[in-house]
A and B are shown apart, each in its own frame.
Chain A
Amino acid sequence: MATEIRIPTTGNAGEDAVLVEWHVDVGGSTREGEPVLTIETAKSTLEVVAPVDGTVLEQRAKPGDDVAEFSVVGLIGEPGEATHPAETHTHELSAEARAHGRSLPPESTMGGEEPAEPSPEPPVPAPDAARPARIAASPRARRVASALGVDLTEVDGSGPLGRILAGDVERAAVDATTATDAPPVQSVVIQPSAVVPVRGVRKVTAQRMHASLSEAAQVTLTRYANADSMLQWLDRIRTSPGAASAPRVTLNDLLLYATARAVVGHPVLNSRFDWDGIRQFDRVNLGFAVDTERGLFVPVIRDAHRLKLGELASQVHAAIERARGGRLQPDEMAEGTFTVSNLGGLGVHWFTPVLNAPQNGILGIGAAHRDGDGRMLLPLSLTFDHRALDGGAAARALADIATAIEHVDVLDAF
């Protein structure tokens, strides 16, 4: 049986590729793993290799054709082997036929005879594209459909005269989610399992992130910091005699403490962008991202670079608690000059934090891990706004942050 030549995924769902050339003509032989054709996407050119040894029996696309990912563009097999009717064509046709709401005309007549005269297709009134036919659905079904993001044209109605009922929509929504196991080629439209309205914190976050990414020139630098002394120090703090009565200190507190003290020495980074002038600061109002059920909040600790570790820790914990309880006041989130986002707890190593505009810097902290020598390394990802500062200045600031972390236990020594 012939083997299909399929277009591989380009990694970007729905991105079209163009067939550039066939390396093997029909009748030519292929070797498994060797290129049979080349395709081109917006980003790159890809060689498509033969899945098996054999002979190219059929080419279903020619150079210049758009070829969809996973589509079959050719067959490889033994010479003379019968090929099946073009599956993809049937598919396209049936999809079209479905859209027109009628069944397919028969592929061939029984007994292989051509009818004396081709019977004209019965005229099917083309649905008015601008005004789709009215769908019979109950008001409740319509409401549920819009809440679940279900397309009513895809739902079969079980009500009187085929009316779509709310239950039909709910079932369709469930079907759509469970259908994700099926090969992607079969799903025409992906049905969300839920549609979350973009409002409240979600909306604010969406707007901020979008504005930040569309306006700032964001570059992320990464490097490790050695976390050994910090972890030891944390141990010693926790076991020190006063620890029981003092506010509990966490690793995150130490990181904020070190970062604030390092950043204050880099006003080019501890700054805000404005086309009228970049505002640099000699004090650090340090924001830190708190993930809550309600969404992302970024409380700001005023003059964080001046606070003793204990003070900082208690302010940070209080702010986290208020953020989780939804009691954070707007002014507690204002006036930040630099932000820290810690995804280490979630196992992330490196990432590209998005600037908390108009601030020019944000430090991402990843999960620490040991290197071959047994040292504990902490991944740091610093995003800065290239409009405000250049790579060198940012790299120097990041180096200082790493140093501060490595020497966190003696930062206040002098």
Chain B
Amino acid sequence: MVKELPIDPDDIRRSGELKLGSIPVNAYEAPLAEERRRYGDAALERIGRDMLLVREFELMLNSIKREGAYLGVAYNHLGPAHLSIGQEAQAVGQAFTLDPRDKVFGSHRSHGEVVAKGLSAIAKAEPNALREDLTRWAGGETWRVVRDLLEDDDPQQLAINYLMYGMAAETFGRRTGFNRGLGGSMHAFFPPLGIYPNNAIVGGSAPLATGAALYNRLRNEDGLVVASIGDASTGTGPVWESFNFASMGQLRGLMDEAHSGGLPVIFFIVNNFYGMGGQPIGETMGFERVARIGAGVNPERMHAQSIDGNDPFAVIDAMRQAREHIEAGTGPVLIDCQTYRLSGHSPSDASSYRTKEELDRWAAADPIERYFGRLVDEGVVDGDRQSALKAWAEQTVRAALEVAIDDRVSPRMRLRDEPEVMAGLTFNSTSADPAEASAGETSVAEADLPHLQAIRKKSRIGVADGAPMPGSKAVTFRDAIFEAIVHTTAADDRIALWGEENRDWGGSFGVYRGLTEFLPRHRLFNSPISEAAIIGAGVGFALAGGRPLVELMYADFIGRAGDELFNQMAKWQPMSGGLVQLPMVVRISVGAKYGAQHSQDWSSMATTVPGLKVLFPATARDAKGLLISALRGNDPVLFFESQRLYDQPEVVHPEGVPVDALPTPIGVPNLVRRGDDLTILTVGATLYRALEAAKRLHEQYGIEAELIDARSLVPFEYDMLLESVRKTGRLLCASDANLRGSWLHTVATTVTAEAFDDLDGPVTVLGARNWIAPPAELEWEYFVTADDILDAVHERILPLSGHVMQPGRGGWAVPSDSALGL
């Protein structure tokens, strides 16, 4: 390994001064004539038109929410309406320079950005390609409604009708909306026009946009990505993590020339000076000015500037400059776009946090009125043009509304009718077409990779002459994962890996040792210690077309990435109505011996959030096969690995670990041992303790346990387990997850209901006690042991003659502990 970044003590200790440089504030100034020359009068008129349509859509929503009708069309809307009236110059200015393939990721208040980006893309798109995009989305369902009921001879107007209808229908939960009515107005997105997820988790757009920009950078694709972020949301960790992630030094310093450059992302702070009611400047934040943030992130100060967001030209100018910086490879860019929300946070907002005087003054600075005033003054448009365009906007919105609320043409999904429908929207359960993938760029050929060659010298099976072999002689769980990654990354260039200490170090547990020699930096890099950004960037990377394999060093760090795992990674497939794919795998290592914050098996917790596949292999063969399946699959997968098992050779599958890339089907448990008297289901490393227990049951009590390793928690096919329980009549489940909320309780409930009359004892669940994981010395007081399994069989299921229980509590839940809070 070449040491790329030496640390020189002389440099470090030399005295000096850090100069942060200046940040422009409202620097834009240009006579209208210059803008006329630059963009042409038609474009100037279009800016005004677009602002009017953006506003009209929200006036419609406001009117529907407050009066139950808009222009005589009555409707009752149950959902939210977070309006941005007064902020139209910001939205339209942001979109104006964007190319159709540029992507915008918005917030809960992004109707404006969606409509503006859609209008901009429609104006610029190649007409045939545009039509193709519109007709193909959602199998043509949206298109057919628009074609039949909102037809227009002008293809631009037809596309605008489509945009407004898709948005309105989505807002009202119709299956003909952009996302089959499953996202709603806060989340609507439409990738064909570059409109990416809008996030009701404030600041949520930042890591996603960072990931999409990372995709462009690492895959050498053109295009900008914009994250719209509320000013108050700059207080969130993931936003800061994203600023840094997009700026990290290696992007410009260490990537090879073809992949070098800061990320092409614009963090566009929609600064309306309020959260809901709290004020970042002067109250909740310390920056005094949002743009100051840039100075703390990188030497370019993120090219930050504060601009007058009520002047579309100022916004356009800032976006133009941003593009120049990004094209020069010095992204990201931060724009502090100052504007003002004239409407309330939501229709129920009484605006108690601001004065009438303030509102009046900003109303006088209404961007639309001011803009048309200027155009008329300078003779760009006639005096009555604004009202004509306003009438057009009303008509366009009203027509879309009428169709969108008509139950006959814009029905809702019937979610309960067929379970396959929601299952299909949640998981596509498809795999990438190998023909679609271009071979992965690697530093050496697979066959020449030294570490792979070393593994190849080992035995594929971990048992010789009936005795277990050491990990130095037989392929281990760690080796199996390594092989899976080598196979899949070599076959598909879209796969990229990042995580903490992944490169050079080889990951905390050495799983990637030897991988640095195989994958160039743009396919394997060290991330900052930013769990939210690691995962969130993965989500954006996948939405953009990539296939990320990212790592959380410990399951205990899931909390740091909670939103990105549970609200982003888990949600965008179903929230898109199943119309996008999110092929992403997160490897999560489950610790041991490191105490309360490094030893928790949170796989059960992960299963409680719909939208994630949750795998937990326990043998080398399954680790390899399941990781291959996950990486080839097109769904989001959490891949749990136990640190107890990294050195474990294959002793369960007699076939050993295959040399080839052989996938293991996801969702099917593994029958480890046959027996007629008792079924034991395990998750993860508990398997080996259950094997030990099964051996003792056999030797000491003549009881034959049938042992099943779940391997996959979501999805999980019950057939094998039910068949086994119908035979044995007895089921004991064990994992290292805390008892309370263990996934195994879900299994227990299901089995009890499905096989009730076959049960010869209560289904018994064992797990880690409901306390903290203690330090290594006390660990086996906490986790399930083979003795715990025997005790549970004896006391709960089938008394074992002569068995002596351990002192103290068993490993199963008891009511008295519950009363104590355990």
Residues of A within 8 A of B (CB): 138-143, 158-160, 163, 165-167
3 closest A-B pairs by beta carbon, nearest first, are: A140-B760, A138-B760, A140-B729
Give min CB distance, B450 to chain A, whole Å.
Answer: 57
Known: A143-B757, A160-B761. A138 touches B729 (CB 8 A): yes
A160 near B759 (CB under 8 angstroms)?
Answer: no
Within B778-822, the residues touching A (CB, 8 Å) are: 795-799
Indicate whether A139 sits within 8 Å of B756 (C-beta atoms), given known contacts A159-B761, A163-B761. yes
Q: Is B758 an interface residue (CB 8 A)?
A: yes
Inter-subunit contact A140/B759 (CB<8 Å): yes
- B758 contacts across to A, CB distance below 8 A: 139-140, 143
B760, B796, B797, B799 interface centre (most CB from chain A within 10 Å): B760
Closest Cβ–Cβ distance, residue A166 to chain B (whole Å): 5
Residues 754-767 of chain B, each 1 if its beta carbon lies under 8 Å from chain A, else 0: 00111111000000
Contact of B799 among A138, A139, A159 (CB under 8 A): A159
Q: Which of B757, B795, B796 has the most CB of A within 10 A?
A: B757
A147 CB, nearest partner CB in chain B, Å: 11
As a 0/1 sequence over residues 738 to 775 of chain B, the CB contacts with chain A under 8 angstroms (1 = contact) are 00000000000000000011111100000000000000
B interface, CB within 8 angstroms of A: 729, 756-761, 795-799
10 contacts between A and B (CB under 8 A): A138-B759, A139-B757, A139-B760, A143-B757, A159-B797, A159-B798, A159-B799, A160-B795, A160-B796, A163-B761
Q: Give the shortest distance, in Å, between B697 (CB) and chain A (any CB).
A: 16
Closest residue to A162 on the B side, CB-wise?
Answer: B799
Residues from chain B with a CB closer than 8 A to the CB of A159 are 760-761, 797-799
A163 and B759 CA atoms in complex are apart in Å by 12
CA A139 – CA B757 in complex, angstroms?
5
The reply to whether A139 and B796 contact each other, CB–CB distance below 8 Å, is no
A160 to B798, CA, bound (A): 7
Bound together, the chains give a CA A349 to CA B606 distance in angstroms of 78
- List chain B residues, Cβ under 8 A from A158: 799
Evaluate contact between B799 and A166: CB separation under 8 angstroms: no
Q: Are B729 and A166 in contact (CB under 8 A)?
A: yes
Cβ-closest chain B residue relative to A164 = B760
B799 and A160 form a contact (CB under 8 A): yes
Given A138-B729, A140-B729, also A165-B798 (CB < 8 A): yes
Inter-chain CA distance A141–B798, complex, in Å, is 13
Residues of chain A with a CB closer than 8 A to B729's CB: 138, 140, 166
Q: Within the assembled complex, what's the spacing in Å between the Cα atoms of A167 and B798?
A: 11
Could you say which residues of chain B place their CB within 8 Å of the CB of A166? 729, 760
Q: Once bound together, how far apart are the Cα atoms of A371 and B252, in whole Å?
A: 120
Determine which residue in B729, B795, B796 has the highest number of CB atoms from chain A within 10 A of its CB, and name it: B729
- Nearest chain-B residue to A167 (Cβ)? B760
Known: A139-B756, A140-B758, A167-B760. 18 other contacts (CB 8 A): A138-B760, A139-B757, A139-B759, A139-B760, A140-B729, A141-B760, A143-B757, A143-B758, A158-B799, A159-B797, A159-B798, A159-B799, A160-B761, A160-B795, A160-B796, A160-B797, A165-B798, A166-B729
Please, how many angstroms separate the alpha-carbon atoms of A158 and B761 in the complex? Answer: 12
Contact A165 B761 (CB under 8 A): yes
- Tell whether, in the assembled complex, residue A140 and residue B796 are in contact, meaning their CB atoms are under 8 Å apart: no
Instruction: Kindly provide the distance from the CB of A146 to the nearest chain B CB, expressed in whole angstroms.
Output: 10
Contacts of A139 in B (CB 8 A): 756-760
A165 with B796: CB separation less than 8 A: no
- Expressed in whole angstroms, the minimum distance between the Cβ of A25 and any Cβ of chain B is 59
For A140, A158, A159, which residue has the most chain B Cβ atoms within 10 angstroms? Answer: A140
> Closest CB of chain A to B800's CB: distance in Å?
11
What's the nearest-Cβ distance from chain B to residue A321, in Å?
A: 38
Pairwise interchain contact B795-A165, C-beta atoms closer than 8 A: no
User: Using Cβ atoms and an 8 Å threshold, which residues of chain B touch A160?
Assistant: 761, 795-799
Question: CA separation between A158 and B797, bound complex, in Å?
Answer: 10
Question: In the bound complex, what is the Cα–Cα distance between A163 and B795 (angstroms)?
Answer: 11
Closest-by-CB residue of B relative to A138 is B760
**Shortest distance in angstroms between A122's beta carbon and chain B's nearest beta carbon?**
30
Interfacial chain A residues near B759, Cβ < 8 Å? 138-140
Inter-chain CA distance A160–B761, complex, in Å, is: 9
Hey, which chain A residues are within 8 Å of B798, CB to CB? 159-160, 165
**B757 CB contacts on chain A under 8 angstroms:** 139-140, 142-143
Residues of A within 8 Å of B797, CB to CB, are: 159-160
Measured CA separation A141–B797 after assembly (Å): 13
Q: Chain A: which residue is nearest B756 at the CB level?
A: A139
Which residues of the partner chain B approach A138 to less than 8 Å between Cβ atoms? 729, 759-761
Smallest CB gap from B794: residue in A: A160
Q: How far is the CA of A304 from the CA of B795 in the complex (A)?
A: 71
Residue picked from A139, A142, A158, A165, most chain B C-beta under 10 Å: A139
Shortest C-beta distance, A396 to chain B (Å), equals 60
A136 to chain B, nearest CB (A): 11
Return the chain A residue nearest B752 by Cβ. Answer: A139
Chain A residues near B761 (CB, 8 Å)?
Answer: 138, 159-160, 163, 165
Contacts of B795 in A (CB 8 A): 160
Report the separation of the CA atoms of residues A141 and B729 in the bound assembly, to the nearest whole angstrom: 10
CA distance A159 to B799 in the complex (A): 6
* Cβ–Cβ < 8 Å partners of A167 in chain B: 760
Q: Point out the residues of chain A lying under 8 angstroms from B799, CB to CB.
A: 158-160
A228–chain B nearest beta-carbon distance, Å: 62
Chain A positions within 8 Å of B760 at CB level: 138-141, 159, 165-167
**Shortest beta-carbon distance, A131 to chain B, in Å?**
23
In Å, the complex CA distance between A180 and B796 comes to 35
Complex alpha-carbon distance, A96 and B651, angstroms: 60
Closest beta carbon of chain A to B441's beta carbon, Å: 59
Q: List, in ascending order, chain B residues with CB within 8 A of A142's CB.
A: 757
CB distance from B791 to the nearest CB of A (A): 11
Distance of B754 from chain A, by nearest CB (Å): 12
Chain B residues with Cβ under 8 A from A140's Cβ? 729, 757-760
Which residues does chain B contribute within 8 Å of A165, judged by CB atoms?
A: 760-761, 798
| Residue of B with least CB distance to A163 | B761
What's the Cα separation between A160 and B757 when bound, in Å?
Answer: 18
Alpha-carbon gap, A337 to B799, bound state (A): 64
Bound: A346/B799 CA distance, A: 50
- Smallest distance from the beta carbon of A38 to chain B beta carbons, Å? 55
- How far is it, in angstroms, between the C-alpha of A142 and the C-alpha of B757 when the chains are bound? 8
B231 to chain A, nearest CB (A): 61
Distance in angstroms between the alpha carbons of A158 and B757 in the assembled complex: 19
Complex CA–CA separation, A140 to B798 (angstroms): 13
Complex Cα–Cα for A160 and B439 (A): 60
In the complex formed, the residue of B with least CB distance to A137 is B760
Q: In the bound complex, what is the Cα–Cα distance between A163 and B797 (angstroms)? A: 9
Question: Chain A residues with Cβ under 8 A from B756's Cβ?
Answer: 139
| Chain A, Cβ-Cβ closest to B725 | A140
Shortest CB-to-CB span from B728 to chain A, Å, is 10
Give, as a whole number of angstroms, the nearest-CB distance from A156 to chain B.
13
The residues of A that contact B796 with a CB separation of less than 8 Å are: 160
Q: Which chain B positions have C-beta within 8 A of A163?
A: 761
Most chain A C-beta atoms within 10 Å of own C-beta, residue among B759, B761, B797: B761
Cα distance A143–B799 in the bound complex, in angstroms: 21
Closest to A141 in B: B760
**B749 to chain A: closest CB distance in Å?**
15
A139 to B194, CA, bound (A): 59
Docked Cα-Cα span, A143 to B755, in Å, equals 12
Question: How far, in Å, is B731 (CB) from chain A's closest CB?
Answer: 12
Min CB–CB distance A294 → chain B (angstroms): 27
Q: Chain A: which residue is nearest B729 at the CB level?
A: A140
Complex: chain B residue closest to A169, CB-CB: B760
Residue of chain B at shortest CB distance from A142:
B757
Q: In whole Å, how far is B12's beta carbon from the nearest beta carbon of chain A?
A: 67
Look across to chain A and name the residue whose beta carbon is closest to the beta carbon of B726.
A140
A141 to B796, CA, bound (A): 16
Q: How far is the CA of A167 from the CA of B795 in the complex (A)?
A: 17
> How far apart sit A167 and B729, CA to CA, in the bound complex (Å)?
11
The residue in chain A whose Cβ has the minimal distance to the Cβ of B759 is A139
A141 to B759 CA separation, bound complex (whole angstroms): 8
- Expressed in whole angstroms, the minimum distance between the Cβ of B798 and any Cβ of chain A is 7
Taken together as a complex, chains A and B put the C-alpha atoms of A155 and B757 apart, in Å, by 18
Report B144 CB to chain A, min CB distance, Å: 53
